[in-house]
Structure 1
């Protein structure tokens, strides 16, 4: 039986690990926190998993929250007036072909970790660095790095050709809330605020039940850039409400009485979107394969992080199984990484596009969607498979013809 070690028990690492177990492999996951630590810690993400990625989890028997998490059936998209008045210029609701779902990773990952162990996997709680990777590379047929910072991340050189930004393009703020007034149709709400950034409202399931995530993506130095890592949670919620009232006033009434889900339901930070080379070389000369955020890290502006992780894990799982008993050499690792990158390349392109001010043809496309339901649905479905929408955002002629 071939033995595979995965460093990182997050969305990609756990999906891949469970898939490998079910395909007959011996699997170890090295993870720096226990399930209890994760469940009792701060939120980690604004995760929203769309239909195609959910289907990958479902085929592995991991669709644990179908009856309890809010079923997100559409995307509610609006553009605020460019004069800063807080009024809406236009907006629409696009339907998703299959429901999306957001489950707090403090709920999701511990459940996945339990499933992994129950199915025969080995879970090692360790903050894995280079010495641990060397050990894994000695006693495993393949080592996959799905998480890591510092020296571990530096094993994978930055790919400048695929990384157009060298600094954060948004300042991020997240609060998990109760007490918001729901819309009749359960949607992710996304509002573009010209020159300032974006605001998102995401129905979610957390440990205490259904909630709504209030998520701000602020252009650095702009009027929405009002949060810092040292800000306490009550101040962060109050500031979030104030900015919603000022910049997306039509949403304020329904979130005015929002309260915090828990003392750890908040997050602030900045991300440098970066694509790295997919194969790392240890000091010993042994090679390791990079996966998901470890090598393809996007800004969360179009909500693709969890989807990319699942899709890349699915591609990697299929590549391992199809490889049979052949050695996992550097050439195979690089080819496998390229397959995974191709699967999420459109998502990476779209995320990077949206970080820049929208060109006129994109604004016109969204404006026409407000009066054309089939186009509104096409835009919404682009969040599930960005490859269907990227051409319209990239090409004015295709956008005009849509």
Structure 2
């Protein structure tokens, strides 16, 4: 029986650990927090997961909360008219809702990670509650067949060198601020449809609104992404959750008044329901070398960390876990050597490269053909639907998004089909 150590108990680490456990591997999972500490701690992300990522969980029968979590059936885009907020609340230039082929869901990671961790222990897995340092891994690499590093923050990440060719940004491109709330009203324009709302405020940033399941039941997430140094970049140093929510709402009233209109009665879900921070999007070398000569393999956002602007973090983590799981099982009893590690990451990168390309494109000011595409989606439902479903499969953006000629050809084709 092969012995595998997974360091880090997030989406990817737990999904891999539980998947290997179900295949009969001897798995040890290291977490720096207990399940109870996670459950009662601060929110960690916004985690809207689309169909393919959710299916990976279903395949492992880990979709414990699927019937409780809101089913997100659409993805809407609104664009504020540039400069319209100078004299008062912003005006909306574009507003549409694309339909998803398969629903999405957002389950607070405090709920999911705590539940999955308890399941792993109940099924006989060895759970070690301890922060891991490089020195610990040096020791463990001699006693395990494979060490996977799935802890995306702290000292361990430094073992994986930045890949400059795949990392165009060296600084954070957005300042992030998250609030989990109860009491958000419905969107009157699209009654009866649960949707993620992407509100774009040109030159300022973005507000995402999404329904989720949290520790206290159904809730909504208000998520600002502000251009650094701009009017939304005001959460640094705000420690009081009430002040964080107050700032969030103040900014909504000015820049996205159509969302603020339904947020006048919201309150935080709990004292841990806010989060703020920033990080530079980075792709790293997937193999970490230990002082004693051992090798470890980086997982998910340890090696591919994208800005959350395209909502891909948990999706990528789930897809990475599925790819790594297949590679480990297919390896049988052969050694997990450097060549295998490289091939295993490349298998994941085949998917992840599309996410990185799209996310980095969305962080830059949109070129004219993208503005045309987003505008056309308001008139042509197939365009809205295709854009929405790109969140599930970002590889499709290659076909109609980046190249102005492909975008134009696609819009002509859809317009013609509509006319016919």
Q: TM-score by structure 2 length?
A: 0.94
Q: Deviations over 1:292-326 (max 9, x none)?
A: 01111111001000000000110000001111111
Q: Out of 214, 223, 235, which is 1:206 matched to?
A: 214
Structure 2, gaps ≥5 residues long: 411-420
Q: How does 1:304-383 map to 2 (within 5 A)?
A: 304-383=312-391
CA spacing shift, 1:342–1:229, aligned 2, 3 Å: farther
The separation in 2 between residues aligned to 1:65 and 1:336, in whole angstroms, is: 30
Is the Cα contact below 8 Å between 1:378 and 1:389 reproduced in 2? no
Question: What is the Cα deviation at residue 231 of structure 1?
Answer: 3.5
CA apart distance, 1:182: 2.2
* Per-residue deviation, 1:76: 1.0
Taking the aligned partners of 2:219 and 2:282, their CA distance within structure 1 comes to: 31
Could you say which residue in structure 2 is the equivalent of 1:303? 311
User: Which runs of at least 4 in structure 1 moved beyond 6 Å after TM superposition?
Assistant: none
Please give the residue correspondences for 1:122-141 in structure 2 after superposition, counting only pairs within 5 Å: 122-141=126-145
Residue 63 of structure 1 deviates from its aligned partner by 0.7
User: For residues 172-224 of structure 1, what are the alpha-carbon distances to aligned partners after superposition, in whole Å with 9 as ceiling and x for unaligned?
Assistant: 00000011102321000001100001011010111111001000000011111
CA offset at residue 120 of structure 1? Answer: 2.3
197-206 or 128-137: bigger deviation: 128-137
How many angstroms does 1:150 deviate by? Answer: 4.1
Task: Verify the 8 A CA contact 2:72 2:196 in the aligned structure 1.
Answer: yes
Shift of residue 229 of structure 1? Answer: 3.6
**Of 147, 156, 162, the match for 1:152:** 156
Contact kept, 8 Å, 2:238 with 2:244, in 1: the verdict is no
| Paired residues, number | 402
Deviation sequence 1:59-81 (CA, Å, 0-9, x none):
10111112111100010111110
1:168 maps to which of 172, 191, 212: 172
Q: Which runs of 5+ in 1 are unaligned?
A: none
TM-score, normalisation: structure 1 = 0.98
Could you tell me how far 1:117 is from its partner in structure 2?
1.6
Q: Hey, what does 1:45 align to over in structure 2?
A: 45
Output the aligned Cα RMSD: 1.0
Residue pairs, 1:101-140, within 5 angstroms: 101-140=105-144
Counterparts of 1:45 and 1:66, CA distance in 2:
18
1:89 corresponding residue in structure 2: 93
Contact 1:349–1:390 (CA<8 Å) still a contact in 2?
Answer: no
CA separation in 2, counterparts of 1:225 and 1:156? 29
Comparing 387-396 with 83-92, greater Cα deviation is found at: 387-396
Q: Which whole-Å CA distance do the structure 1 matches of 2:199 and 2:217 have between them?
A: 25
Distance in 1, Cα, partners of 2:373 & 2:140: 50
Of residues 193, 196, 206, the one that matches 2:201 is 193
Aligned with residue 393 of structure 1, among 376, 379, 401: 401
Residue 113 of structure 2 is aligned to residue 99 of structure 1:
no
Please state if 1:294 is matched with 2:298: no
Deviations 1:205-263 (A, max 9, x none): 11111001000000011111121143411111111111111111122211111111001
